[in-house]
Amino acid sequence: MSKLTKNQKLVAGKVEAGKAYSLAEACSLVKEITTTKFDASLDIDVRLGVDPRKANQMVRGVVALPHGTGKSVRVLCLCTPDQEAAAKEAGADYVGLDEYIDKIKGGWTDIDVIITMPAIMGKIGALGRVLGPRGLMPNPKSGTVTMDVAKAVREVKSGKIDFKVDKAGIIHASIGKVSFDTEKMIGNAKEFISAIMKLKPAAAKGTYVKSIYLSSTMSKGVKIDPKSVEEA
């Protein structure tokens, strides 16, 4: 067995293997065991008792985190000229249409979210090969295809994120930064899990939330007792 580093020993001593912690304890522990020099992301992994291959068990949604994500989100708004001024005022980093579609065709993807209008989706469909694998394709379900682009830009900038269960039945998301105080971490985690609970598919059988783990960019995952989320 390879020798543990000083930081790994510190973590091993603090996080008990197999133990499920309360949400408040987990938030404090993640802060303690994160030793990166940069401000790490606070990540959550929720394993669900669903079969994502079945359309009636797909879990997908959006949630507005009360304390934001702590990240600056780069937003591209592809809209008609009459909406450009409102989108810029709302805080979009890039606003336009054809010139950005050409840039994306050329491989440009230095953005985190694309917001657009229903009338423009026909033009964006051709960008699926570039945008799809990067999770950048606008979608009405995540609120990124809308008539009110300015409102959507404001929501994304203030901490609205979308999430989707993966093939293994797990939802991964970044819900803040380790530099957040514990109360903010708890608030964002509760809001995120509450959004998932509301989306429980009628076809899902047995235990819906099987496990919840909280971690930071480079840290070990801390297991959370799902019951504690309601009490925290």
Domains of the chain (ranges, CATH numbers): 19-69+160-231 (3.30.190.20), 75-157 (3.40.50.790)
Average pLDDT over every residue of 22-40: 93
Beta strands (DSSP E) in the chain are 41-48, 60-64, 75-78, 94-96, 113-116, 160-164, 170-177, 209-216, 222-224
Instruction: DSSP letter for 93, please.
Output: S
Residue type, 159: G
**pLDDT of 50 strictly over 60:** yes
Q: Among candidates 220, 226, 158, which has minimal Cα distance to 189?
A: 226
**pLDDT of 1 strictly over 50:** no
Instruction: Report long-range pairs for 160-163 (Cβ below 8 Å, ≥24 apart).
Output: 160/62, 160/63, 160/64, 160/65, 161/62, 161/63, 161/65, 161/69, 162/60, 162/61, 162/62, 163/60, 163/61, 163/62, 163/63, 163/192, 163/195, 163/196
Residue type, 62: V
**pLDDT of 17 strictly over 90:** no
Question: What pLDDT does 28 receive?
Answer: 95
Q: Angle at Cα 42 formed by Cα 23 and Cα 88, nearest 5°?
A: 125
- pTM over 0.75, yes/no: yes
CA separation (Å) from 218 to 7, 8, 30, 203? 11, 11, 10, 36
**Poorest-confidence range of 117-121, 182-186, 226-230?**
226-230
Tokens linked to 67: 């304390």
